[in-house]
Structure 1
């Protein structure tokens, strides 16, 4: 089986390790990674896997794949690329689609005080996270979860099911059509990373946890970094002096 992996971050690295057990030939599209992100490009070098950091395009496909697998890939895969693999392209999205399509799904779920989130494997179509669903699973959001802990829990669990989803595609499973509705969030930091002055204490605390993913910037309040709710109360107290 010939596979193209479009991936990034540690999830993309783990996906590659799993796919190497199933493919006769694999090629990877990935991104340049800062020092604090596990580098899929470097893993490809170590494993002797062909790769590129160019955006996937029908003109630079190394072969016609049996399946394209997208795990934390940051570019939209075009219709021409999808057609080249007879639309056998799947994506792992960290939400229970159709809700929380787009970006920062887990971050927004914490901010919005959801009690559960999850992941969805779905076929890639011409929309954004709108293709037929192959597999979904719900997971709880705990009161102590940060963006970091929730992301790791959801994605670790999701990747356990990657081989099963590959088999579904191989045998021709069509998946189920997504129901209408659901929220969509564009790329960009929620509220530009700023705690709003009219939020309740509970909203502030959720936002601080939702922004916690070191070394990315923490929540901000009036020009100050807010790592904990105590930080926020300290800044508020100084305002009143």
Structure 2
């Protein structure tokens, strides 16, 4: 079973690893090396690092659909499957028609909900109780192909996007192996997506992390969880940006204005919301490392009766 794998971030690495162990991965495509960090040193993707461990040929076209040499290379390989996991480029119809069986995509949501770039984050931001992975046959649309297999994961009360990412990353690798084996034996029934049930998980940006304290406690907590580990929700404390990594929803109410700090202790910073109170547990100020509030107040002060903006 010859497979071409296309992927880029850490999320795709367990999938590549499992496919290498189960089948013959003959080539890996990933995004070009990019400048990273303060020194802007060129860095390879997580997927490239894994492929090089196994001495698998790596191709890094800037724009795959326009790279005739790479397309010809893929045609000459005559793969049984092309497997795509967070590659970061759209595949043209010419590429979709290359493999013997199919181009399969692993998507980290229960399609047709949360098509798009950030399904893990938006599932938590929107307060979903479950998420999962879906494998699908690829077409020229964005996450619109016929679905193959699904696996569900419960979203627990304090789960962050980072936590869910790590669970789905491993779960997706298992689902892909099942999908490849099932399709090659013609044992999987394809299911069309109902477009009327779909919603779009747009890319994240830093400005969306600004907390509106007039919202309900649960909505604010969902935002904090959904934007952890990036870009991190934030508020302003005395004109300084304060990132918030973790909080708990409290069963308390206050007549003070939303955003008002009620109390500061080793347990956290108690803040008024639109319908109650939350307890901020972990924060970060500019040029400082993230700290639990208990650690932060050992060397710094957070004043009560201040209003977070």
TM-score of the two chains, using structure 1 as the length reference:
0.86
**Structure with higher strand content:** 2
CA contact (8 A) 1:221 1:232 kept: no
**Structure with higher helix content:** 1
Aligned residue in 1 for 2:261: none
Name the CA distance, whole Å, in 2 between partners of 1:189 and 1:82.
31
Matched, 1:110 2:161: no
Matched, 1:218 2:236: no
Structure ID, larger Rg: 2
Deviates more, 1:2-11 or 1:30-39: 30-39
CA contact (8 A) 1:147 1:210 kept: yes
Which runs of 4 or more aligned residues in structure 1 lie more than 4 Å from their structure 2 counterparts after TM superposition? 33-38, 234-237
Aligned residue in 1 for 2:223: 207
Alpha-carbon offset, residue 37 of structure 1: 9.6
3-state SS of 2:151 partner: strand
Aligned residue in 2 for 1:5: 5
Alpha-carbon offset, residue 171 of structure 1: 2.9
The structure showing larger relative contact order (alpha-carbon pairs under 8 Å, at least 6 residues apart) is 1
Structure 1: runs of 5 or more not aligned:
none
Distance 1:136 1:101, change over 3 A: same
Cα deviation code 1:69-105 (max 9, x no counterpart)? 0112111122221123367101111111111111211
Cα deviation code 1:13-65 (max 9, x no counterpart)? 22222222344451111134758997221222221110122243362132332
Distance 1:221 1:166, change over 3 A: same
CA contact (8 A) 1:89 1:124 kept: yes
Aligned residue in 1 for 2:40: none
Name the CA distance, whole Å, in 2 between partners of 1:177 and 1:135.
12
3-state SS of 1:73 partner: coil
Distance 1:155 1:46, change over 3 A: closer
> Cα RMSD between the aligned structures?
2.7
Alignment counterpart, residue 156 of structure 1, candidates 147, 170, 174: 170
Alignment counterpart, residue 90 of structure 2, candidates 44, 63, 76: 76
CA contact (8 A) 2:82 2:99 kept: yes
CA contact (8 A) 1:135 1:165 kept: yes
